Structure 1
Amino acid sequence: MNALVPVGEENTQLAGLDGTQKAAILMMLFGETAASSVLKELNPGQVQDLGAAMYGVRRISHETIAAVVDQFLEELSQQTNLGIGAGNYVRTVLNDALGPDKAQSVLSRITPSSAEHPIEIFDWMDAKAICELIMDEHPQIMALVVASIDTQLAAEVLRLLPESTQPDVIFRIATLTNVQPDALKDLEKVMQRKFKANTTLRASQIGGIRSAARIMNFTKQDMEQRIMKAIKGEDKDLMENLQDNMFVFDNLIQSEDRALQTLLREIEPEVLTLALKGADDQLLRKLLGCMSSRAAANIEDEMEAMGPVRLTAVQEAQKQIVAVARRLADAGTITLAGRGGEEMV
Structure 2
Amino acid sequence: MLQSDTNEARMPYPILIGDIGGTNARFAIIADADAEQINFPNVRTADFETIDDAIRAAIMEKSAVKPRSAILAVAGPIREDEIPLTNCDWVVRPRTMIEGLGLEDVLVVNDFEAQALAIAHLSDEHRERLGDASGDVVASRVVLGPGTGLGVGGLLHAQNTWIPVPGEGGHIDLGPRSKRDYEIFPHVETIEGRVSAEQILCGRGIVHLYKAICAADGIEPAYSDPADITSHALADTDKIAVETVSLFSTYLGRVAGDMALVFMARGGVFLSGGISQKILPALRRPEFRAAFEDKAPHSGLLAKIPTYVVTHPLAALAGLSSFARRPESFGVSTDGRRWRR
TM-score for the superposition, normalised by structure 2: 0.25
Q: Higher relative contact order at CA 8 Å, sep ≥6: structure 1 or structure 2?
A: 2
Query: Which of the pair has more CA radius of gyration?
Result: 1
TM-score w.r.t. the length of structure 1 is: 0.25
Structure in which a larger fraction of residues adopt strand = 2
Which structure dedicates a bigger proportion of its chain to helix? 1
